[in-house]
Amino acid sequence: MPGTELFGAEERKEIEDVLSTGIMFRFNHDAQRNNIWKAKDFEAEAKKITNAKYALAVSNGSAAIMAALAAAGIGAGDEVICPPFTYIATIEAILFLGGLPVFAEINETLCLSAEGIEKAITTKTKAVCLVHMCGGNANMDEIMALVNKHNLILVEDAGQAFSASYKGTYTGLFGKAGAYSFDFFKIATAGEGGIFVTNDEATYKLADSFCDHGHDHIGNNRGMENHPIIGFNYRISELHAAVGAAQTRKVPEIRRKNLLNKKFMQQKLAHLPGVGFAKLGDDNGDSGTFLNILMDEPEMAKRVVDELNKAGVGGFNYWFTNMYHFINQWNHIKELKTASKLAIHVIGAPQDYKNLELPKTQNVVGRLISFGIYCNWTEEKMTELADKISACVNKALQPA
């Protein structure tokens, strides 16, 4: 995990700044905080990397995508096209806002395809929630052409793709709003944290209020602030933001090392029979956080995974059987099991979630084996891992 590999004096110094004032709340208390504003610092560092006009630090990536959808106007009864391969928070956010998920096909970018989106569009479609999976990027030219053609709202969940870009524009900034995650497993971590981004001022102001009980954050007396909308509490603490700010400053160097290590591993494995790699919308915009191996066939991938497990090789995900990233295991979504009634229970689901036909997605995810890239890998460590993967692939290819 790149961010956590580099915990050190920088993070401790940022935390000590906060502790020296005792102000862990991100708003107000100007006199006591000695001009220490870590949430603002975190937001500024995110804007430096992404060139976003507006950034809002929130409690986690799930809150960030919730805010992005809400500020983009997604609500009760709105059909939202989304991928069946994503962290479950994407789908939860749509449901909790009253939206209706419509699942569409992905392609070998591991993201929604323009073809898949177009086939899922109905007269009731309001938005597309595009997820940039496993550190990469989608084919944005094709997708934007389709979004504009049908006058749809685009919201991007780039939780796994902070610092990834497509032809010079960073993931999260093609549509109305975007979201990044800074949890413990991302390219940079705040422990728990997220960043909402947009280039639209009105959308930013809605998110800013939505994430703090509707406060407008005007003036220096919190108890007398106005509330232009109803909101909830998705605030980040100054302690988490302090870690996030220090970590985000390290992202350019982390990404540089990630890409070198990913290239090394791909070169080591490219000769193997049956082995390919996931595609990117733009090769130059990769964040380098995942080595995404695509075997020729799902059955071959399953055999390789079995051999990797037998050999005790760790650090990989076989998403096809993952409990919280792929729809095959989302029985609670298919059966709409919730603590309380949601809009979808009243309006009805737009698809039969128990009997979806997504053959391209099933094929791609069935073939996919993802290894997390570590920025501090040595050449010796990478060679050792590549040799183990090679041995497992070759063994899986042997006749039974």
pLDDT, tens digit (0-9, with 9 covering 90-100), for 276-322: 999 999 999 999 999 999 999 999 999 999 999 999 999 999 999 99
State the Cα–Cα distance between residues 134 and 200, nearest whole angstrom. Answer: 27
Mean pLDDT confidence for 80-92: 98
pLDDT band of residue 399 (cuts 50, 70, 90) is confident
Read off the DSSP letter of residue 212.
B
Pull the structure tokens for residue 204: 């930013």
State the Cα–Cα distance between residues 131 and 128, nearest whole angstrom. Answer: 9
Measure the N-to-C terminal CA separation of the chain; round to a whole number of Å: 36
Mean pLDDT confidence for 1-29: 93
For a pLDDT cut of 90, what percent of the chain falls above it? 98
Cβ(106)–Cβ(85) under 8 Å? yes
Is 0.95 topped by the overall pTM?
yes
The phi, psi pair for 13, rounded to 5°, reads -65, -45
With 0-12 CB in 10 A as exposed, 13-18 as middle and 19+ as buried, what is 20?
exposed
Mean pLDDT of the chain: 97
Whole-number pLDDT of residue 7: 92
pLDDT, tens digit (0-9, with 9 covering 90-100), for 158-213: 999 999 999 999 999 999 999 999 999 999 999 999 999 999 999 999 999 999 99
Output the CA–CA distances (angstroms, integers) from residue 209 to 58, 218, 284, in the order listed.
Answer: 12, 11, 36
Output the CA–CA distances (angstroms, integers) from residue 73 to 3, 176, 249, 261, 324, in the order listed.
Answer: 33, 10, 32, 41, 26
Please report the domains of the chain, with CATH numbers, ordered by start residue: 2-250 (3.40.640.10), 253-397 (3.90.1150.10)
Q: Strand 368-372 to strand 169-170: parallel, antiparallel, or no bridges (unpaired)?
A: unpaired
State the Cα–Cα distance between residues 374 and 382, nearest whole angstrom. Answer: 10
pLDDT band of residue 1 (cuts 50, 70, 90) is low
pLDDT, tens digit (0-9, with 9 covering 90-100), for 218-263: 998 999 999 999 999 999 999 999 999 999 999 999 999 999 999 9
For the cut 90, the answer to whether the pLDDT of residue 4 exceeds it is no
State the Cα–Cα distance between residues 201 and 195, nearest whole angstrom. Answer: 16
